[in-house]
Amino acid sequence: MGGCLDAEGCGYQNPDKVRFCAQCGIPTRGSFLLGRYEIMDLLSRDRQTVTLQALDHHRGLPVTVRVLRPHEATEREREEFLQDAELAMSLSSRVNEPGSIRVTDYGQDGPVAFLVKTEFDPARQPARQFRPHMTVRVGSDLLWSEAEATVQAAAEVGEEEGVAEDEVSTERYPALPRRAVPQRQTTPTGVRDWLAEANALYEQQRYEEALAAYEVAIRSQGNPVEAWTGKGATLMLLGRPEEALAAYDYALRLRPDDPELWNSRASVLHELGRYDEEMYCYDQALALDPNSAFAWSGRGMALAEQNRPEEALLAFDRALVLDPNQSVIWQAMSDTLYSLQRYEEALIAIDRALELESQRASLWDIKGNILRRLKQPDKALPLHERALQLEPRNALYYFDKANDLRDLRRYAEALAAYDEALELDPTLAGAWYNRGNVLAALRMYEDALESYTQALRYDDGLISAWYNKGSLLHELGRYEEALEAFDRALALDAHYIAAWNNKGLSLFALGRLEEALAALDQATAFAPEEPDAWHNKAVVLERLGRSEEARSCQEWVRSLEQQAALRKT
């Protein structure tokens, strides 16, 4: 006997070798989803989902699996969960931030719908350039060692043009502005100030030249710590984090009691995916300055990205006690609460962010998405429209607006909004997919098929698009084409129960009864709790003249339906 992983909410003692808890339906310890993800332990739970620790046996890596509770969710909630998972997977393919959490897979197995999350591993991806998660301080620090004549000529041009103010854009938040550090290095009159020139070049985003100037400053101005830290920030901007880490390490040898340097080093380690060391740096920064809002917020973000949301919330709380006027921390808190499906609290946090920064379009978009998850698309719609007023060329905001209109069943307007999104970004596979769903709801099947085809053109791994395309082709009587689509879906997910079931129906329609029975055997083997597949199998067996087996299947269908009725009472 094996106890349900949800010991607090269920605790049912299941027989050995059962894949799903007979009482609540969630996977059991040691079971496999899709024959790939071995379930290890329960990480967290809420009313509608459980989050499980698992091992991906295809890649030999730990993953997080979020499972929709099959006996708690409605069919509509199940569809929305899978749609959201598919969109998240599509959008995740564009996220190249090392250590970020990406949705890498989703699907259905037996009674459950689920998605798989894992950390983005830069070692498995093509090399890329990125900007650092820090701002360089005025009078700050960086370096290089190239021909000084080139640097001198570049610096002279910079002097003529003047120093333009610029904010270093960041991809990962929270990125609180660092406090300005006074320039500590003084230069005798008549001697060239390479550090000041390097800072000016940095502010003009002329990073290669700035790096060269910082190198000269290190050699000629007594090895100042500001030049080393400036070198680190510039190397990060140039996509060279290992070298940046070495520069910050040297700066810390010169000034080990500077909490800002520990924070900067933490940011580099985050890029490198070395999270334990990143956390150590934040701990060092906080030991030196317990009131560092940046360190608390950075620590919270690192915890959130390691799927430790409850600890992350505590860190964000500390940061906001110290500095409640940072909208980016309120946003981080909102996102973390959203991931826990604590939508009402997420709404409060994003409202605080908007009070501080009402002209940031992304905050309005986030609030709209929270309200849509709260089943309030009528309230979400004007917020997505507000985001579009601020950023009228943002495809994702049109996509979110279209989803509101879809939920409101204002299909014609939803189609127009999806078209706006696709005009701005024709590669947005999720928009093509949802557009196809709306067209199918309007029974515009040929147009829906074309939309699914476009979605698959830009992301041929969209399993639900293959499945929906196959289902429409079946409805249109194009059974051979439907089989091709179902086979594509099953090639991506051999445990896709609905695809096996509908493949069986298409084969049945073609009179290929033995093949239809084989497909339905797969469906019932993977999902013995699903009555539809058993009913369809009974029909095929009856047609094959195997009446006794057909009756046995129908009896099992009645038993499953009675169990479902009892659970609802």
- For residue 181, pLDDT over 50 is answered with no
SS3 at position 404: helix
pLDDT of residue 223: 72
pLDDT in tens, 368-384: 999 999 999 999 999 99
Instruction: List the structure tokens of 35.
Output: 């024959």
| 362 pLDDT more than 80 | yes
pLDDT level of residue 109 (50, 70, 90 thresholds): confident
**pLDDT confidence tier of residue 32, bands split at 50, 70 and 90:** confident
Read off the pLDDT of residues 342-358 as tens digits, 9 standing for 90 and up. Answer: 999 999 999 999 999 99
β-bridge pairing 49-56 and 37-45: antiparallel
More confident residue, 190 or 203: 203
Eight-class DSSP state of 17:
T
Read off the pTM: 0.66
Return d(Cα 398, Cα 418) in angstroms, integer: 7
Q: What is the distance between the alpha carbons of residues 183 and 194, in angstroms, rounded to a whole number?
A: 12
Lowest mean pLDDT among 216-225, 324-333, 378-387, 408-417: 216-225
pLDDT band at 138 (very low <50, low <70, confident <90, very high): very low
Give CA–CA dist 17/19, Å, rounded: 6
Torsion over CA of 306, 310, 316 and 317, rounded to 10 degrees? -170
Query: DSSP readout, 37-62?
Result: EEEEEEEEE-SSEEEEEEEETTTTEE
CA distance 87 to 103: 9
The 3-class SS string of 122-188 reads: HHHCCCCCCCCCCCCCCCCCCCCCCCHHHHHHHHHHHHHHCCCCCCCCCCCCCCCCCCCCCCCCCCC
Contact between 29 and 4 under an 8 Å Cβ cutoff? The reply is no
Q: Exposed (0-12), middle (13-18) or buried (19+): which is 514, by Cβ within 10 Å?
A: exposed
Q: Which of 23-27, 68-72, 155-159, 412-416 has the lowest mean pLDDT?
A: 155-159
Q: Are 251 and 228 in contact (CB under 8 A)?
A: yes
Q: For residues 423 and 371, what is the distance between their CA atoms, to the nearest angstrom?
A: 26
Q: Tens of pLDDT along 472-500?
A: 999 999 999 999 999 999 999 898 999 99
Tokens coding 244: 């940046």
Task: Using alpha carbons only, give the angle 373, 531, 461 rounded to the nearest 5 degrees.
Answer: 50
Given a cut of 80, is residue 143 above it in pLDDT?
Answer: no
Residue 563 has what pLDDT? 86
What is the structure's pLDDT at 17? 65
Closest residue by Cα to residue 504 from 277, 496, 52? 496
For 151-184, letters b (16+ CB in 10 Å) and e give beebbeebeeeeeeeeebeeebbbbbebeebebe
Write out the two tokens for 309. 């949301």
Distance CA 89, CA 81 (A): 12
**Rounded Cα distance, 141 and 58, in Å:** 44
pLDDT (tens digit per residue) in 517-529: 999 999 999 888 8
Handedness of CA 527, 91, 78, 43 (dihedral sign): positive
Q: What's the mean pLDDT when you consider all of the chain?
A: 83
